[in-house]
A and B are shown apart, each in its own frame.
Chain A
């Protein structure tokens, strides 16, 4: 309950006037059974990597009992009735409309509204907004890359289209996988929760069934019940999962029978790999690694030739130019692998590193996780393919991983060689990736020549 935060003197002054706290009554606690079953499948004890959802860092002192309680309550919400107040206030009617389950597609923009730290300094923190996209979905279990903080549990997540429709509630603002912050927020879709609420109210309070009628109905102006896996931006369909023995990662289809991935996903030339496509339908096709850069090459790239064409998968348009600051999206099978289809995370192109005027490295603010390697980086506006995700960032001194700082190989580095191979079968252009100049190697080693190392004055 205690945050250990101390409000400074200025925050004691009211930043904005609030309504005085109003007493309320708990009508019922409710959960969505489908959310709980998807949660158990994706995050349960059988999951290979250990997940944590506590609102604190994995190393913080949280008792096992406390963590167990948090986990048990994670998919539970509460319906309250607020005591009557001023007459003017009471005249106001329904506040929200509710988006039907499946109406918001993967990659669609979302707005999260919650109060970080709960009731701590509401004059400062009440209704803080955060923007992101719908990153992934398994039934009513949704994930967004909108950044949320402890205390925003229960906060509403709204759609831009239909405008202002309530899509979901925050179930867990922070997710940790294998002791690394994932940078995604776990949500429970609002529509099925309200369905449970209507049913429960009718059963528990038959005399006051009118309450259930007053709950906001799903917005019928939007399509409902559409399978989420088949929706989303068309360019996202080019992302595939690549399995090479026990290793798996992401890849991108650059021609009907050609997939690009990372060397550390498919490291050996001539190795057989299995390529899974999730959209437009689930298919798995065998392929062979026809090229992988040498370990000494800074470009962590492998090319897979498929035994069959991936029908219906659109081939992305390679970008010719990069614009720092432009909105971008990463699509990859990080976090869940095959269990949940690819995730979409959004951000901006934060840096384009050039050597002799040519881009050799792209950086983004998208959340990138283990398993996303080899996946595509797209321009969110044009849908053009900008690059291939190679890594995120880890501080070797602290062990901390930073999912929002990641590195991609610009498609301009690869495109001429891929075109040559695609048209003639000649690997010559790809082999040149093994012979990059020293400045490019220096960039990808994240090192400068010793003489240029800046000295810390601390």
Chain B
């Protein structure tokens, strides 16, 4: 990509993450995941898509279509919701430094 994208790429890669949702104690029930954006690291605040929470809504997806509803509190989802956020190595982290030392390239077969 061109030079104009350098700063944007760095920000995007620092901010990008993936969010997984699953049911506590039910690994076979599957998991749902989407992408997200890290807004802040201290405290850790992440914005992601709401679609992965639909299976966990206590009152079902109809809760999302109520006229005039701009937000729903976290407890709109069932108590067994378990969330995990994963992101890549940051410049300051040990993982990031390890990345520079270990050429972890791979070539999956098409």
Mark interface residues in B55-94 (1 if CB within 8 Å of A CB, else 0). 0000001101100111111101100011111111110111
Q: Are B86 and A18 in contact (CB under 8 A)?
A: yes
Residues in A with CB closer than 8 Å to B98 are 17
Q: Are B41 and A8 in contact (CB under 8 A)?
A: no
In the bound complex, what is the Cα–Cα distance between A14 and B71 (angstroms)? 38
In the bound complex, what is the Cα–Cα distance between A118 and B30 (angstroms)? 13
Residues in A with CB closer than 8 Å to B74 are 25-29
Residues in B with CB closer than 8 Å to A27 are 74
Residues in A with CB closer than 8 Å to B94 are 88
Of A30-38, A230-238, A412-420, the one contacting chain B is A30-38
Residues in A with CB closer than 8 Å to B34 are 118, 151-154
A111-B44 contact in complex given A76-B51, A118-B20, C-beta closer than 8 Å:
no
Categorize the interface residue count of chain B: 35 or more
Q: Are A22 and B10 in contact (CB under 8 A)?
A: no
Give chain A nearest CB distance to B103 CB in angstroms: 10
Residues in A with CB closer than 8 Å to B48 are 77-78, 80, 154
Residues in A with CB closer than 8 Å to B9 are 111, 129
In the bound complex, what is the Cα–Cα distance between A155 and B87 (angstroms)? 12
Q: Is A79 an interface residue (CB 8 A)?
A: yes
A29-B16 contact in complex given A16-B104, A73-B51, A96-B37, C-beta closer than 8 Å:
no
Of A209-217, A280-288, A317-325, A400-408, the one contacting chain B is A209-217
**Interface SS, B side:** mixed
Q: Are B37 and A72 in contact (CB under 8 A)?
A: no
Q: Are A73 and B12 in contact (CB under 8 A)?
A: no
Of A158-166, A293-301, A375-383, the one contacting chain B is A158-166
Q: List 28 A-B contacts (CB under 8 A).
A: A1-B33, A7-B108, A8-B109, A11-B108, A16-B89, A19-B95, A24-B44, A26-B81, A30-B71, A31-B64, A70-B54, A73-B53, A74-B51, A78-B47, A92-B42, A94-B41, A95-B41, A115-B18, A118-B32, A118-B34, A119-B18, A122-B18, A122-B86, A124-B106, A161-B4, A164-B11, A196-B70, A196-B71
Which A residues have a C-beta under 8 Å from some C-beta of B? 1-2, 7-8, 10-11, 13-33, 68-70, 72-74, 76-86, 88-96, 109, 111, 113-115, 118-120, 122-124, 126-127, 129, 131, 151-156, 158-161, 163-164, 166, 169-171, 190, 193-194, 196-197, 199-200, 204, 211, 214-216
The 4 closest A-B pairs by CB, nearest first: A82-B44, A76-B50, A118-B33, A154-B49
Which B residues have a C-beta under 8 Å from some C-beta of A? 1, 4-5, 7-20, 30-54, 61-62, 64-65, 68-74, 76-77, 81-90, 92-96, 98-99, 102, 104-109
